[in-house]
């Protein structure tokens, strides 16, 4: 199985541990994530300011994948959601696609409406059999209690995703976490947004939103919070420091990407999964497995 | 009595005018149930932000007032409101349309405009430099281009 690997902006510059652990997991499962140097920003960060240009950026990326004969696989939920949305709007022939193609033709490109977009977690959920993936597991993570944060764009807006999981009562990430043996614990406000997009506009509200979740997850005694989007990770992991200085609240709650958890179960080492790069060090958690 | 109530501007013709500015976000389907506000994670923390109010104000054409308030930028685009609206009002899409209008009329936080210009110039929010590529190399990650010509070809003519 081969996908055009869409890294986006944040991951290669700021969330390299997510990239590293995803590459390891994909390699183990024999998925090819093909690097595409021409990919640019998905367009999502510009949707609020200029929808026409942002859609054009999305279409540019989709047309590159189409030309390579590949579907797109993303790690970031915003990239997944936005590229899926653009593909959804440009699936049918019409004036909108003509307009986009007029611009793309300047680069000798055309979008014909055939590219599928998949979040890496969706690929794992849909295309890897639970029995299959277990064959690759070397460590049983049965001692861990994990809280799952789905975030907003992994499943929303639901109209653009073809119901591979329910936006209201999602199960896909929990199922993948459970395969490692870890126990998934529920907590209050599981569906709440991380607040990431507000950070540049109103830091206090953004951090308050993130703090609510960290409070709820700490209350149920989870060993870690599991995320699938770099923005959520920035809010919950990197910003625990800011919360300590801003609110005087200390959480010390490790925040792991799903791929880091799966990688641990597969037997990879701390550095291979970038676990040494997490802001809140998962020292206690790793000690349980003598890592 | 009724002629003394000011500013009631709703009506078919007027609805078309608003739709022209905001796109088809189905404002007139609003049942005034306030589910959008009840599920909004931002309203809970900051009650000056209220999606229901934006729907009603936009429906009656108070768009300039909404943009001037600057409150639209508190929307995190989480889709909770749009997903839960029982009558199909595209509340999140309304917020996006309002933000797009905000840029055009100059009602926009500096950071948002800066971010837009960085992307239009470099093709990324965080442009990659040689230093980034060195870090990536150390982690056995492939290097990435440090410049992007495609964006200038795609965007010239519609640069701000």
Q: What is the per-residue pLDDT for B160? A: 43
Q: Which of B116, B135, B151 sits opposite A40 (nearest CB)?
A: B151
What CA–CA distance (Å, rounded) separates B77 from B88?
A: 17
Per-residue pLDDT band at A164 (split at 50, 70, 90): very high
What CA–CA distance (Å, rounded) separates B89 from B37?
A: 13
Q: Are strands A145-148 and A224-227 parallel, antiparallel or unpaired?
A: parallel
What CA–CA distance (Å, rounded) separates A166 from A153?
A: 12
Q: Per the CB < 8 Å rule, is B144 touching A45?
A: no
What CA–CA distance (Å, rounded) separates A149 from A156?
A: 14
DSSP state of A227: E
H or E segment and range at residue B130: helix B130-138
Residue of A nearest to B107 (CA): A49
DSSP string, B48-83: T--HHHHHHHHHTT-HHHHHHH-GGGG-----HHHH
Chain B residues in contact with A16 by the CB 8 A cut-off are 135-136, 139, 141
Residue A26 to residues A62, A129, A256, A280, B8, Cα–Cα distance (Å): 22, 14, 17, 25, 59
Q: Per the CB < 8 Å rule, is A12 touching B132?
A: yes
Tokens representing residue A133 in the block:
């993936």
Give the pLDDT confidence of A200-241 residue by residue, as tens digits: 899 999 999 999 999 999 999 999 999 999 999 999 999 999
CA dihedral A44, A45, A48, A49 (to 10 degrees): -120
Q: How many CA within 13 A on the CB side of residue A201?
A: 22
Q: Per the CB < 8 Å rule, is A53 touching B150?
A: no
Give the pLDDT confidence of A44-77 residue by residue, as tens digits: 999 999 999 999 999 999 999 999 999 999 999 9
Beta-strand runs (E) in A142-240 = 145-148, 183-185, 224-227
pLDDT exceeds 70 at position B10: no
What CA–CA distance (Å, rounded) separates B46 from B31?
A: 24
Which range of residues forms the domain containing residue A264?
127-287
Q: What is the per-residue pLDDT for B114? A: 93
Among 3.50.50.60, 1.20.58.1690, 3.40.630.30, 1.10.1060.10, name the CATH number for the domain at B2-108: 1.10.1060.10
Region of residue B34 (left: phi > 0; alpha: psi -120 to 50; beta: else): left
Comparison of pLDDT for B21 and B102, the residue scoring more: B102
pLDDT exceeds 60 at position B3: no
Per-residue pLDDT band at B19 (split at 50, 70, 90): confident
Give the pLDDT confidence of A135-160 residue by residue, as tens digits: 999 999 999 999 999 999 999 999 99
Domain shared by A240 and A214, yes or no:
yes
Classify the C-alpha dihedral A87-A193-B124-A234 as positive or negative. negative
Classify the C-alpha dihedral B112-B114-B120-B122 as positive or negative. negative
Q: Pick from A120, A143, A173: which residue ends a domain?
A: A120
Q: Pick from A85, A120, A155: which residue ends a domain?
A: A120
Domain shared by A186 and A218, yes or no:
yes
Residue of A nearest to B151 (CA): A57
Asked whether the beta carbons of A189 and A220 are under 8 A apart, the reply is: no
Q: Per the CB < 8 Å rule, is B126 touching A13?
A: yes
Q: Domain residues of chain B, as ranges? A: 2-108, 111-155
Residue of B nearest to A100 (CA): B154
What CA–CA distance (Å, rounded) separates A185 from A7?
A: 30
Q: Which of A46, A60, A198 sits opposite B119 (nearest CB)?
A: A46
Tell me the shortest Cα–Cα distance from B68 to chain A, in angstroms: 15
Q: Per the CB < 8 Å rule, is B112 touching A48?
A: yes
Q: Which of A41, A51, A156 sits opposite B83 (nearest CB)?
A: A156
Beta-strand runs (E) in chain A = 2-6, 32-35, 71-74, 117-119, 145-148, 183-185, 224-227, 255-257
Asked whether the beta carbons of A44 and A51 are under 8 A apart, the reply is: no
What CA–CA distance (Å, rounded) separates B50 from B74?
A: 10
Q: Helix B51-59 vs helix B91-105: angle between axes, to the nearest 10 degrees?
A: 70
Domain shared by A131 and A246, yes or no:
yes
Q: Per the CB < 8 Å rule, is A201 touching B112?
A: yes
DSSP state of B5: S
Residue of A nearest to B159 (CA): A53
Domain shared by A137 and A104, yes or no:
no
**Mean pLDDT over each residue of chain A, to the nearest integer:** 96
As for how many domains chain A has, the answer is: 2
CATH code, domain carrying A174: 3.40.50.11810
Q: What percent of chain A has pLDDT over 70?
A: 100
Classify the C-alpha dihedral B13-B17-B19-B23 as positive or negative. positive
Q: Which of B113, B125, B126 sits opposite A49 (nearest CB)?
A: B113
Chain B residues in contact with A56 by the CB 8 A cut-off are 154-155
Q: In sequence order, what are the residues at sequence separation of 6 or more whose Cβ sits closer than 8 angstroms to the Cβ of residue A199?
A: A206, A234, A235
pLDDT exceeds 50 at position B136: yes
CATH code, domain carrying A6: 1.20.1050.140
Asked whether the beta carbons of A165 and A142 are under 8 A apart, the reply is: no
Inter-chain CB pairs, A–B, below 8 Å:
140
Domain shared by A166 and A35, yes or no:
no
Chain B residues in contact with A60 by the CB 8 A cut-off are 150, 154
Continuous H helices in A16-116: 16-28, 51-67, 77-89, 95-104
Q: Pick from A50, A85, A120: which residue ends a domain?
A: A120
Asked whether the beta carbons of A155 and A167 are under 8 A apart, the reply is: yes
pLDDT exceeds 70 at position B5: no
**What value does the mean pLDDT take over residues A245-256?**
93
Domain shared by A112 and A136, yes or no:
no
Q: What is the per-residue pLDDT for B11? A: 54
């Amino acid at each position: 199985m081969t996908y055009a690997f869409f890294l986006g902006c944040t991951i290669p510059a700021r969330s390299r541990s997510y990239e590293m652990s995803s590459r390891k997991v994909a390699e183990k499962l024999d998925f090819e994530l093909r690097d595409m140097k021409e990919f640019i920003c998905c367009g999502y960060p510009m949707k609020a300011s200029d929808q026409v240009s942002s859609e054009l950026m999305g279409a540019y990326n989709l047309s590159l994948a189409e030309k390579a004969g590949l579907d797109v696989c993303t790690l970031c939920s915003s990239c997944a959601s936005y590229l899926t949305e653009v593909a959804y709007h440009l699936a049918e022939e019409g004036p909108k696609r003509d307009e986009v193609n007029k611009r793309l033709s300047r680069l000798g490109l055309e979008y014909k409406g055939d590219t599928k977009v998949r979040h890496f977690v969706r690929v794992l959920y849909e295309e890897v059999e639970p029995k299959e993936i277990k064959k690759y597991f070397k460590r049983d993570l049965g001692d861990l209690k994990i809280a799952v944060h789905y975030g907003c764009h992994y499943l929303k807006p639901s109209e653009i995703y073809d119901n591979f999981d329910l936006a209201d009562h999602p199960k896909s990430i929990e199922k993948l976490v459970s395969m490692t043996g870890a126990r998934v614990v529920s907590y209050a406000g599981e569906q709440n947004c991380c607040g990431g997009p507000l950070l540049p506009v109103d830091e206090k509200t953004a951090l308050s939103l993130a703090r609510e979740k960290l409070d709820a997850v700490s209350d149920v005694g989870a060993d870690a919070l599991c995320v699938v989007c770099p923005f959520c990770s920035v809010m919950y992991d990197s910003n625990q420091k800011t919360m300590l200085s801003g609110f005087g609240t200390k959480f010390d709650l490790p925040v792991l990407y799903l791929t880091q958890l799966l990688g641990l179960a597969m037997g990879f080492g701390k550095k291979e999964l970038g676990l040494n790069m997490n802001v809140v060090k998962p020292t206690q958690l790793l000690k349980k497995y003598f890592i | 009595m009724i002629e003394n109530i000011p500013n009631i501007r709703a009506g078919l013709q007027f609805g078309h005018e608003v739709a022209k500015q905001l796109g088809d976000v189905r404002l007139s389907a609003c049942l005034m149930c306030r589910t959008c506000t009840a599920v909004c994670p931002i309203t809970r923390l900051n009650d000056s932000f209220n999606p229901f109010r934006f729907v009603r104000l936009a429906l009656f054409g108070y768009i300039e007032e909404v943009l001037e308030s600057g409150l639209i930028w508190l929307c995190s685009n989480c889709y909770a409101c749009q997903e839960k609206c029982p009558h199909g009002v595209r509340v999140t899409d309304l917020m996006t349309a309002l933000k797009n209008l905000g840029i055009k009329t100059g009602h926009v936080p500096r950071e948002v405009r800066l971010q837009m210009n960085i992307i239009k110039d470099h093709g990324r929010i965080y442009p990659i430099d040689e230093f980034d590529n060195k870090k990536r190399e150390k982690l056995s990650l492939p290097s990435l281009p440090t410049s992007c010509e495609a964006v200038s070809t795609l965007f010239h003519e519609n640069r701000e």
